[in-house]
């Protein structure tokens, strides 16, 4: 029996920061402190490392851990590179301590060259496309959409192709994959830490930014679906930060963002206004952001699950956590359980993931609303001082203090009638499943235009 059918789903409602009291970690803390925090929190969770690959058994040839001979060679090279670079990293550390600077630098450069040469055979073009789920005999009905996927750690070109093919099968769309090349597990983790702590824009980030900008400014494109997995979630987060600076709200509103096992430390989605009396006070630029997580997966435990519960960190979007579920592979451990190809209704006598009733994380909601109320009170106090009046009204200050109580204060109730999802199923709260098999949830709505 699959983990998805036996475990409940924890739901963290989207963050509605109506007084703009949250921020990104890089805007609030010293980068060196962020570096230390990232290393510390990762080390504390290393006991989950074996669960990245569990369950190991695969059901389909395009599963990441499939023992098909071609995939076995691909996996073998990734494992070999990871073990070798770990050993070489120890050698480099010793040489830096005992040898002269010029010699240790030469050794370090040689190690980088060796690793690059080993992974070169599994790399490929920066962009790939899959239309395996599109029925060629019929006119393609989704020419106004662009579906873009960014892969995660340990992702060679073969892995990217299989991920795009599976997404195309599930959603019946043409999927464009942007390659986030791997340098082995150790190198990828170090790269993640530098991305999160120092805003390091890799070539993949810059490439994704350019591609997305072209899509969002294309007048013939009405909707852009952006999907990230693992480290791809970091890239998606950083690309959004860049695009929010460069594009008008009307263009950014075309976006919908979905992540699996997201490793990002923050997720921005600016409000259109922060005035309480404005009808758009709870309206964010991007209408749909969703994160899907396996609870026992090391990467999101270090990424989305850790940071979304920090009340002062901006982490926008709904979070669905499969309690007790393990594994990090997109096809094998996420899509097989959330959107199975052969049995969409789950095992007989059990509820599939989409039909499970969610358990709302009330603790996170309460922490958020207390933080929001404290920030709102501070702003009100400052405004009172500025106006030289201790009895300034709410209309003078322009801020509405969010009252702490039942966990609803800072979590919007968009589809859940003020209950933050309590008593609702994943299917009622989620947006992504509405695209299954080529469906269009906005078929009867006016498309988003430039």
The DSSP code for 275 is -
Is 115:81 a contact under the CB 8 Å cutoff? Answer: yes
Residue 131 sits at the vertex; the CA angle it makes with 127 and 133, to the nearest 5 degrees, is 140
HSE (CB half, 13 Å, CA atoms) of 159?
26
- The low-confidence residues of the chain, meaning pLDDT below 70, are 1-7, 19, 137, 274-282, 343-351, 376, 379-419, 444-450
Q: How far apart are CA 369 and CA 19, in angstroms?
A: 11
Phi, psi (degrees; rounded to nearest 5) at 376: -65, -40
For 154: left if phi > 0, alpha if psi spans -120 to 50, otherwise beta; the answer is left
The first and second tokens of residue 21, run together, are: 């009291």
The first and second tokens of residue 87, run together, are: 């050993």
Residue 349 pLDDT: 45
pLDDT tens, position by position, 138-187: 788 899 999 999 999 999 999 999 999 999 999 999 999 999 999 989 99
Residue 383 pLDDT: 58
The DSSP code for 289 is E
Residue 279 pLDDT: 45
Domain presence at residue 379: no
Distance of CA 402 to the CA centre of its chain: 28
Domain presence at residue 443: no
Domain presence at residue 40: yes
Helix, strand, coil tally for the chain in percent (to 5): 45, 10, 40
Helix (H) or strand (E) holding 95, with range, is helix 69-98
Residue 109 pLDDT: 82
CA-CA-CA-CA torsion for 314, 315, 316, 317, nearest 10 degrees?
-170
The first and second tokens of residue 198, run together, are: 């120092």
Domain presence at residue 53: yes
Nearest to 189 by CA among 230, 157, 249, 228: 230
Domain presence at residue 118: yes
Domain presence at residue 263: yes
Phi, psi (degrees; rounded to nearest 5) at 7: -110, 150
The DSSP code for 184 is -
Contacts by 69-78 with C-beta closer than 8 Å and gap 24+? 70/158, 71/158, 74/122, 74/156, 74/158, 74/159, 77/118, 77/119, 77/121, 77/122, 78/122, 78/154, 78/156, 78/182, 78/184, 78/185
The strand pair at 145-150 and 358-360 is best described as unpaired
Domain presence at residue 405: no
Dihedral of CA 53/56/59/63: which sign?
positive
Is 339:436 a contact under the CB 8 Å cutoff? Answer: yes
pLDDT tens, position by position, 320-374: 999 999 999 999 999 999 999 875 444 444 568 999 999 999 998 888 888 777 7
Residue 3 pLDDT: 42
The first and second tokens of residue 299, run together, are: 């990467």
Cis omega (within 30 of 0) for bond into 55:
yes
Residue 117 pLDDT: 86
Residue 131 sits at the vertex; the CA angle it makes with 126 and 133, to the nearest 5 degrees, is 135
Helix (H) or strand (E) holding 37, with range, is helix 31-44
CB atoms within 10 A of CB 269: 22
Instruction: Please give the residue range of the domain that contains residue 87.
Output: 3-364+425-438
The DSSP code for 322 is E
Residue 273 burial (10 A CB sphere; 0-12, 13-18, 19+): middle
Q: How far apart are CA 163 and CA 267, in angstroms?
A: 23
Residue 439 pLDDT: 92
Residue 416 pLDDT: 46
For 135: left if phi > 0, alpha if psi spans -120 to 50, otherwise beta; the answer is beta
Q: How far apart are CA 217 and CA 151, in angstroms?
A: 24
As beta bridge partners, residue 178 has: 127, 150
Q: Which residue has the tokens 């040469």?
A: 117
For 184: left if phi > 0, alpha if psi spans -120 to 50, otherwise beta; the answer is left
Helices (H) and strands (E) in the chain, counts: 16, 9
3-state secondary structure of 270: coil
Total structural domains within the chain: 1
Domain presence at residue 392: no
Dihedral of CA 10/417/233/306: which sign?
negative
């Amino acid at each position: 029996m699959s983990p998805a059918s036996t475990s409940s789903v924890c739901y963290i409602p989207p963050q509605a920061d109506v007084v703009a009291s949250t921020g990104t970690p890089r805007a609030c803390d010293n980068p060196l402190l962020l570096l230390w925090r990232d290393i510390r929190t990762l080390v504390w969770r290393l006991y989950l490392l074996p669960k990245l690959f569990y369950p190991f058994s695969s059901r389909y040839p395009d599963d990441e851990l499939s023992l098909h001979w071609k995939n076995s060679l691909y996996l073998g090279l990734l494992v070999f590179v990871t073990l070798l670079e770990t050993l070489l990293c120890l050698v480099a550390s010793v040489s830096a301590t005992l040898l002269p600077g010029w010699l240790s630098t030469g050794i370090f450069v040689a190690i980088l060259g060796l690793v690059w040469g080993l992974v070169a055979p599994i790399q490929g073009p920066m962009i790939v496309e899959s239309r395996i789920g599109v029925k060629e005999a019929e006119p393609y009905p989704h020419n106004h959409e662009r579906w873009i996927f960014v892969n995660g750690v340990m992702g060679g070109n073969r892995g990217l192709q299989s991920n795009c093919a599976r997404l195309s099968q599930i959603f019946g769309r043409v999927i464009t994959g942007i390659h986030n090349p791997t340098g082995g597990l150790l190198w990828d983790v170090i790269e993640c830490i530098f991305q999160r702590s120092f805003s390091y824009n890799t070539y993949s980030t810059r490439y994704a930014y350019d591609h997305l900008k072209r899509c969002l400014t294309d007048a013939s494109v009405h909707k852009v679906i952006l999907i990230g997995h693992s480290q791809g979630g970091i890239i998606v987060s950083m690309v959004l930060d860049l695009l929010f600076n460069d594009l008008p709200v009307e263009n950014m509103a075309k976006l919908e963002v979905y992540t699996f096992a997201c490793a990002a430390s923050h997720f921005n989605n600016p409000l259109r206004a922060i005035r309480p009396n404005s009808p758009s006070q709870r309206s964010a630029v991007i209408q749909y952001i969703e994160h899907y997580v396996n609870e026992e997966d090391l990467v999101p435990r270090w990424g989305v699950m850790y940071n979304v519960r920090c009340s002062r960190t901006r982490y926008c979007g709904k979070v669905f956590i499969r309690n007790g579920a393990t594994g990090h592979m997109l096809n094998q451990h996420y899509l097989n359980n959330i959107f199975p190809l052969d049995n969409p209704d789950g095992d007989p006598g059990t509820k599939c993931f989409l039909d499970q009733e969610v358990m709302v994380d009330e603790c996170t909601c309460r922490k958020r609303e207390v933080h929001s109320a404290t920030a709102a009170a501070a702003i009100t106090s400052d405004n009172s001082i500025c106006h030289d009046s201790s009895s300034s009204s709410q209309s003078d200050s322009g801020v509405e203090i969010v009252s702490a109580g039942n966990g609803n204060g800072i979590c919007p109730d968009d589809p859940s009638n003020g209950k933050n999802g309590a008593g609702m199923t994943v299917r009622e709260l989620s947006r992504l499943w509405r695209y299954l098999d080529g469906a269009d949830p906005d078929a009867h709505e006016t498309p988003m235009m430039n």
